[in-house]
Amino acid sequence: MERIAVYPGSFDPVTLGHLDIIERSAKIFDKIIVGVLNNNSKIPLFSAEERVSMLVEVTKHLENVQVMAFEGLLVDFASQLHASVIIRGLRAVTDFEYELQMAQTNRIMQGNIDTFFLTTSLEYSYLSSSVVREVAKFGGDVAKFVPASVIPVLYKKVRRKEDGIK
Ligand code: COA
């Protein structure tokens, strides 16, 4: 049986930290579905379509990785895809409480889906998408934070936002 895992998140935008988790999990599981959350309480900088398209581009070297947007409950999305695992990255101890709560809740809702935690590689343990957005907004260098293909898309987006264009 194929071991399918879902790696969910906002990916607003995808960072090198996310890519690190995707690449490592792609070696462990038969198939990884990156799930881009489309009903987030956070107001995203990028639309779900834009976030999906950036992820498709940065994962194109990984044959067993697929990217999809989703709405609603993560466990429902995972079940529809016959995934038995949810992947989450743990950056620091501060992530733990929130992640534990999510993992427990998801397990109560859907007992046959387990959460699999990977510790983020040390060089990305400080990274978050909001920090990346902030650096880009003020014209800082984001090359150490996001994949190369994301850089021009990100600068373009923050500039357009500054100009009041969506
Ligand atoms: N590298 C870089 N950044 C990372 C990272 C990594 N490896 N892992 C997490 N992050 C950052 C993200 O960039 C994001 O930063 P930001 O807040 O500055 O934007 C932050 O950590 C949280 O990110 P994310 O992984 O996108 O989680 P989330 O909290 O936005 O969403 C879901 C988590 C999608 C799993 C959750 O909201 C969900 O399942 N929603 C669906 C509804 C549902 O089922 N709810 C019940 C769950 S109990």
Structure confidence at residue 40 (pLDDT): 66
Confidence of residue 136 (pLDDT cuts 50, 70, 90): very high
pTM of the model as a whole:
0.94
**Is the pLDDT score of 122 beyond 70?**
yes
Confidence of residue 92 (pLDDT cuts 50, 70, 90): confident
Please write down the HEC assignment for all residues of the chain: CCCEEEEEECCCCCCHHHHHHHHHHHHHCCEEEEEEECCCCCCCCCCHHHHHHHHHHHCCCCCCEEEEEECCCHHHHHHHCCCCEEEEEECCHHHHHHHHHHHHHHHHHCCCCEEEEEECCHHHCCCCHHHHHHHHHCCCCCCCCCCCCHHHHHHHHHHHHHCCCC
Q: Whose CA is nearest to atom 21 of ligand 1?
A: 128
Q: One of 42, 60, 159, 160 is an active-site residue; which one?
A: 42
21 lines ligand 1 (CB under 6 A): yes
Helix, coil or strand: residue 7: strand
